Structure formats: C-alpha cells, structure tokens
Amino acid sequence: MTRLPAPDSVNLRDRYPDVFDRPLSSRLAIPAMLLGAFGIFVLGLVELEFSPARMLAGLNQLGWITMMMIPPDPGSSLPAYLVALGETLSIALLGTTLAAIFALPVSLLAARNIVPSNIFRFPVRRFLDSIRGVDTLIWALVWINVVGLGPFAGVLAIAVSDFGAFGKLFSEAIEAADRKQVEGIRASGGNTLHEIRFGLIPQVLPVIAGQVLYFIESNTRSATIIGIVGAGGIGLQLAEQIRVLEWQKVSFLILMILVAVAAIDWISGKLRFAIIGKRAVI
Amino acid sequence: MTVAVSMLPEQQLAVLNDAYRKAVARKRLRLTLATAVFFAVLVIAAIGAEVNPGTFVNKIGNFVSYFDRIATLESGARVWSDTGEWFWGWKKWLALLGETILISYVGTLAGAILAFALNFLAAENTSPAPWLRFAVRRLMEFCRTVPDIVFALIFVIAFGLGPMAGVLAIMIHSVGALGKLYSEIVENIDMKPVEGVRSTGASWTSCIRFAVVPQVAGGFASYTLLRFEINVRGASVMGFVGAGGIGQELVVAVRKFFYSDVSAILLMIIVTVFLIDIGTGWARGRLFGKDARS
C-alpha cells in the first residue's frame, strides 16, 4: 500500500481562501439571523401578553376540559348532527364545483399561452389575487349579509374564495401544457376555439380534475368552520356547543369531523388515481 | 409531388373501424354514467345545502350594492374622496394588523420548533421505533385536521380572550401541517451520509445533527416561510372568535353595518397579505434560488 502524500496545507490555504478563512460576515450571518428571529419571537411573546402564570392556569383549565370531553357523547341530538354533517359535505361539494365551473374560462384569460398580451393578463391576475387575499370566513360574513344566514351563504363563500385559487392553479396548468398538440390542430386548419378544445383541454383536464378533487377534500375542512360565523353546517353546532360548554358533545362533533374528513380523503384519493393514474398530483 | 395515401382493403378496414367504434362507445358510456352520477350527487347536495336559485337571483343585487355601500362614506360621498375620513382609525387598525402578523409569526415559529422536534420521530427512515412513529403520526394528523379556529374557540375558554389563544391555535395547527411536510422531506434524503456518521459509532442525535439536518435545512425553511404566509391569513380571522388581531374589528364593523370601515379594514388586510406574500417569496428566492418558489 502506498502512502498518500501529506496535504500541502500552506498551498491549499492560498488556493482556497474562501474555505479556510471565511470572512467574519459570512460566518456570523446564520447565527445573527437565528438570533434576530429569536429576538422577534421573545418580543412577540411579551407583546402578546404571554406569562407563565397564565400559561399554567390555562393548561390546568385545558386539562379539565379534556377530562370532561371523555367519553364523547352526542346526547339526544345525533340526528341533528348527522343532518349538519350532510349539510357541510354538500357545501364543500357544491362550492368547489361552482368555483371550478366559473374559474375555467377566466383561467384561460390568465394563461400566458392563450393571452400573450400582458396588458390583458395583468388585471385578471391581480383580480384573482385579491379574491384569494380575503379569507373564506370573511366571504361568508359578506354573503350572510346578502342571502341571509344558512348553508347557501356557505356555498357561495366557498365558491368565491376557491374561484380565486382555481383561477391561478388552472392557468398554471394551462401554461405548463405542451405546445405541440395545439400547433398540430392549427396546422390542420383549426381556429382558436378548436385549438383550446382539442389541443389544450385533453391535456389539462386530468390535472384540473385532480386539483378539484383535492380542493373538495380541503374544503370539507373549510366548510366545517364557516358555520362558526353562521353559514350553516356542522361548524354552527360545534360553535354553539363550545359556547354552552357541553364538552362531551364537542368531542363527539370533533370526532365526526375527523371521520368525515378521513372518508372524503380516501374517496377522493381513489377517484384521483382512477382519473389520472398512479402518479403524483402537482 | 403527389403522395399516395395507402388505403387498406375494405374488409380489413371494416374490422378495424368496428373495433374502434366499440372502444369509443364503451368510453362514452362510462363518461355518461359518471356524469349522471355526479349530477345526481350535485342535486342531492343542492337540496341538502338549501340552495335556492330564486333567493340568489333576488338577492344578487344586494351583493353588488353591498360593494357600493362599503365604498360610500356616511356623508354619501365616495370613500376615496376623503381618505382621512375613510381611514379614520388607521392608528388602531395598524396596531391590530401588527398584532395579527405577530400572532402568526410567534405561532409559526413555535409550531416549526415543535414540528422540527417531532418530525424525525415520524419519518420512516429516521424513526427510532415503529410504535413511536405511529403515535407521532396520529398526533400530527389530529393537529392538522381540526381547523385552527376550532382550537381557538376552545383555547379562548381555557386561556381567556386575547391573542394568546390565537397563537396557541396557530401553533398546534402548524405542528400538524409542518410536521407532515418536514417528515416527507426527511424521507427523501440521501441515506449515505447517515450511514457514514453511524459507522463512526455516533448516537441517534449525532446522526440527525450531522447527517440529516444539513440536507433538509433549506427545504424546512422554505416550507416554514410558506406556512407563515398561510398563517397570516388565518390570524386575520382569529379575532372572529375573540382570539386577537384585526378580525375582531372587522367582524364588529360587518355586524354593525359600519360600511366604510369594512372596506378600509378589508383593504388593509389585502395589502398586508400581498406584502407578506411578496416578502416571503423574495426571501425564498434569495435563500434557495428561483426554482424553490412554488
């Protein structure tokens, strides 16, 4: 076995000064950033009135609440809860479907390969962005003012806030589509609508279907909370039971939500694989 | 130049055409059936959600006029004609917006620290024991499936009204969401450095510290910034249930029909969310190059 020559450290130091003598600024950059982040964290704790005493008292209280939650028990209102759960699922399904139907044409306008002109695309994109900037709960509040309390306001709230999200996601899917098929349609004499119908839609439909299914799933969660402001569904029951401190019913309702979300998760997973095959959804 | 298109003889063509038509017919039948089932489900859902197109048509005018009303001052003038009057409470609202951002910052960071501690126990390749992995995974699933505002409702009762409940709710939700994403990154790492460190006789913690963390730190930071962005939106509605931030003011303004206040607060929230989006997008671009911006 031959011995390796000893490394010539003086020479190496000369050749790679960055490795051996990193300037102080780059050595301190990461600790300084971490320290800064931690500083803001502590400042936040002080500013938001955290104190060990409050924390202990709250945890004690939380312990009691958890004790009172066991065992979960719906009492005599199980039928009402099942109806509310059905309402929640309906809100999620209808809201997402409405959003997808309205978002598809608008997303064409926001896609670079359909509308090349920046002047037309920019306002559409900003419009979608500002819709997304407002939370679903706020939209629910607005719609309650318009169509009154009840699940219909919830459907409209989910439809509007998802419209913004879908518009963006669909337009990204369209921009990622392959140009060649569109060019093929044009070469055989098709007009713009033909290009979209036969060149683009077959490519983007599976992607879009996957996204819609994913949103139905995540909207089941959102639909459970819009009831808190009065827009129907199981959230309404949940908020009421929390306010009157019926902890056993609360834990039962939370369990119901968990089971429903898991079920929808499973179903939409199956459907997604049936539509797009076994590959990752982007 | 003429090109001869070769045509198959009639008999062969008929067989091929038949097969093609059959395949298409089967596909169409499946599509029609699926559409029919989907519409049936939609109709049932519409009945369940008390959808009433009549109400919608009658009240859609309200929706348009609502935006008209929130764009009008009490004096009847348009809001933008008198900015001072429109944003009369800007000092209070800015302070509350600051509180909202602080809530989401503290909540995200605390959640990220906890998720960092837990995710190595949940990832398949670094978990010390299967039962521990199972338990941690279920815990994180629970944390992210229950919406943060439900936690906030319960915490408001346990910890009292105020931003503390909001921070804790956001923290718990972030532990669940980030823990899952973190453990997925850890499952995708290159295991060779881990084996290298392990072969020197290092303990589990040393393996994590010197072989896993350097590989995943960038991905973790990127997801944490993304979560912060989402949590700012979440924190803006925490006030609806009394858990601090700007939401309290907004819900009061909506319920008491202070129209111009609604538009002022909404505008401030939208602008803040925009700025945070742009800021975190920029930070992610700076830290991890362009492709990390998804």
Share of chain A above pLDDT 70, in %: 96
Tens-digit pLDDT profile for residues B20-37: 999 889 888 988 998 898
DSSP chain B: ---PPP---HHHHHHHHHHHHHHHHHHHHHHHHHHHHHHHHHHHHHHHTT--HHHHHHHHHHHHHHHHHHTB-TTSSBGGG-HHHHTTTHHHHHHHHHHHHHHHHHHHHHHHHHHHHHHHHHSTTT-S-HHHHHHHHHHHHHHHHS-HHHHHHHHHHHH-SSHHHHHHHHHHHHHHHHHHHHHHHHHTS-SHHHHHHHHTT--HHHHIIIIIHHHHHHHHHHHHHHHHHHHHHHHHTGGGGTSSSTHHHHHHHHHTT-HHHHHHHHHHHHHHHHHHHHHHHHHHHHHH-GGG--
B146 contacts A257? CB cut-off 8 A: yes
Chain A residues near residue B47 by CB distance under 8 angstroms: 90
Residue A141 has pLDDT above 70, yes or no: yes
The Cα–Cα gap between B18 and B20 comes to 5
| B249 touches A at CB < 8 Å | no
Chain B residues near residue A45 by CB distance under 8 angstroms: 106
Question: What torsion, rounded to 10 degrees, do the Cα atoms B196, B197, B198, B204 define?
Answer: -150
- pLDDT (mean) for B143-162: 88
Residue B285: pLDDT band by 50, 70, 90 thresholds?
confident
Chain A residues near residue B63 by CB distance under 8 angstroms: 142-143, 146
The Cα–Cα gap between A22 and A74 comes to 65
| A65 touches B at CB < 8 Å | yes
A51 three-state secondary structure: coil
Nearest in space to A204 (alpha carbons), one of A179, A229, A177, A239 = A177
Q: Which residue has the tokens 């009204």?
A: B161
Q: Which residue has the tokens 């408001």?
A: B156
- pLDDT (mean) for A275-280: 58
Chain B residues near residue A236 by CB distance under 8 angstroms: none
Tens-digit pLDDT profile for residues A128-140: 888 887 888 888 8
Nearest residue of A to residue B143 by CA position? Answer: A258
Question: Which of B140, B143, B149, B180 is best to mutate for the A interface (most A CBs within 10 A)?
Answer: B149
pTM for this predicted structure: 0.80
Nearest in space to A260 (alpha carbons), one of A93, A100, A68, A98 = A93
Share of chain B above pLDDT 70, in %: 96
- pLDDT (mean) for A20-45: 82
Tokens found for residue A169: 């996601």
The answer to whether residues B186 and B120 touch, using CB atoms and an 8 Å cutoff, is yes
Would you tell me which residues 1-60 of chain A have a C-beta closer than 8 angstroms to some C-beta of chain B?
Answer: 37, 40-41, 44-45, 47-50, 54-55, 57-59
Rg (CA), chain B: 28
Q: Give burial (CB, 10 Å; 0-12/13-18/19+) of B231.
A: buried
| Maximum alpha-carbon separation in chain B | 87
Q: Would you put residue B223 in left (φ > 0), alpha (ψ -120 to 50) or beta?
A: alpha
A94 contacts B51? CB cut-off 8 A: yes
Residue B188 has pLDDT above 90, yes or no: no
Nearest CA-CA distance, residue A42 and chain B, Å: 8
- Amino acid occupying residue B143: C
The answer to whether residues A236 and A228 touch, using CB atoms and an 8 Å cutoff, is yes
Question: Which of A38, A42, A48 is best to mutate for the B interface (most B CBs within 10 A)?
Answer: A48
Check whether the bond before A116 is cis (ω within 30° of 0).
no
Tens-digit pLDDT profile for residues A250-273: 899 988 888 988 888 888 878 877
Residue A68: pLDDT band by 50, 70, 90 thresholds?
confident
- pLDDT (mean) for B55-71: 79
Share the mean pLDDT of chain B: 85
| B139 touches A at CB < 8 Å | no
Name the residue among A94, A143, A151 with its Cβ closest to that of B42.
A94
HSE-CB for A273 with a 13 A CA cutoff: 6
Residue B4's pLDDT is: 67
Residue B78: pLDDT band by 50, 70, 90 thresholds?
confident
Residue B2's pLDDT is: 66
Q: What is the ipTM of this complex?
A: 0.77
Nearest in space to A152 (alpha carbons), one of A238, A239, A230 = A230
Question: Which of B139, B171, B237, B262 is best to mutate for the A interface (most A CBs within 10 A)?
Answer: B237
The Cα–Cα gap between A129 and A143 comes to 19
The Cα–Cα gap between B189 and B204 comes to 16
Residue B109 has pLDDT above 90, yes or no: yes
Residue B100's pLDDT is: 92
Residue A182 has pLDDT above 60, yes or no: yes
The answer to whether residues B155 and A58 touch, using CB atoms and an 8 Å cutoff, is yes
Tens-digit pLDDT profile for residues A218-251: 888 888 888 888 887 888 888 888 888 888 888 9
The answer to whether residues B143 and B137 touch, using CB atoms and an 8 Å cutoff, is no
Beta carbons within 8 Å of B119's beta carbon, 6+ residues apart: B178, B179, B182, B183, B186
Residue A71's pLDDT is: 84
